[in-house]
């Protein structure tokens, strides 16, 4: 995953938070997750498949998401859709609170000019 300037440097936990948040309202498959994050962050974060799938598998091993194979809606091969588990929703709410606290703590420095 890279941010807009291409440095690839992200705060720890941002990748996991974005993945969990992208699955909050509906199950999505890999490409749709990439598109969702790209659109909602106005292109700031761009996942590469080599980053996305290992992260999804890690979240699945942790019990935060679950995968389910479903037929493609376009007639292609079946797709693996990921959805949040109960534990994943709890983790998302906790991480969202942490992200908000982090943003509040940075606000004085972001507005300092």
CATH number of domain containing 79: 1.10.10.10
pLDDT > 50? residue 3: no
pLDDT value at 8 more than 80: no
Q: Measure Cα distances from 113 to 5, 41, 103, 106 in Å.
A: 22, 24, 17, 13
Residue 47 belongs to a domain: yes
* CA separation for the pair 5, 35 (Å, rounded): 18
Number of domains in the chain: 1
pLDDT tens string 36-72: 999 999 999 888 888 899 999 999 999 999 999 998 8
Give the residue with greater pLDDT, 3 vs 58. 58
- Asked if residue 5 belongs to a domain, the reply is no
Q: pLDDT tier at 90 (50, 70, 90 boundaries)?
A: very high
Task: Give the pLDDT score at 48.
Answer: 87
Whether 98 is covered by a domain: the verdict is yes
The whole model's pTM is what? 0.84
State the average pLDDT for the chain: 88
């Amino acid at each position: 995953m890279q941010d807009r300037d291409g440095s690839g440097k992200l705060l720890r936990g941002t990748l996991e938070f974005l993945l969990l948040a992208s699955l909050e309202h509906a199950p999505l498959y890999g490409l749709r997750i990439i598109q969702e994050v790209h659109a909602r962050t106005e292109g700031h974060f761009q996942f590469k498949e080599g980053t996305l799938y290992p992260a999804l598998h890690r979240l699945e091993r942790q019990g935060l998401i679950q995968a389910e194979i479903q037929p493609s809606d376009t007639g292609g091969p079946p797709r693996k859709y990921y959805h949040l588990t109960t534990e994943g929703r709890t983790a998302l709410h906790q991480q969202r609170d942490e992200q908000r606290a982090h943003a509040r703590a940075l606000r004085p420095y972001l507005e300092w000019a």
